[in-house]
Amino acid sequence: MRGMNTLATPSSSNAPVTVFGIPNCDTVKKARAWLTGQGVSHEFHDFKKLGVPVDQLPRWIAAIGWEPLLNRKGTTWRKLDEDSRAAVVGAVSASALMLAHPSVIKRPVVVWRDGRVTVGFDAASFSAHLP
């Protein structure tokens, strides 16, 4: 379960599974392939083309926290100047950075049919979200 964070939030059980990320991310590719292999239909929201959904980001932060969402190991984070990195001290500043630089969001973010939100990919954890 390394890299997985999850918390339930209210949602309709008829809602589709939605995967948020960027298409060239290997972890997103693995997660989407796994879902397809399990017969789980899902929607894909491409951060590069569609941006980060402003209405979803606060929900993700409330569900799993801003720190698990912030990818401090990625290239985008490392390319930020020291002042920009140092300015991220809480949910508000992290949210602003994530909206401005979607690639600093750890991927994939998955919103499950039951409303749970996870970040990262782990097959065993994903299995727990299937009926």
Active site residues: 25
Q: Which residue has the tokens 């500043």?
A: 93
**21 vs 34: CA distance, rounded Å:** 15
- Residue 21, SS3? strand
Helices (H), the chain: 26-37, 47-50, 57-64, 66-69, 75-79, 82-86, 91-100, 123-127
Residue 118, amino acid: T
Tokens (6 digits) for 69: 């969402």
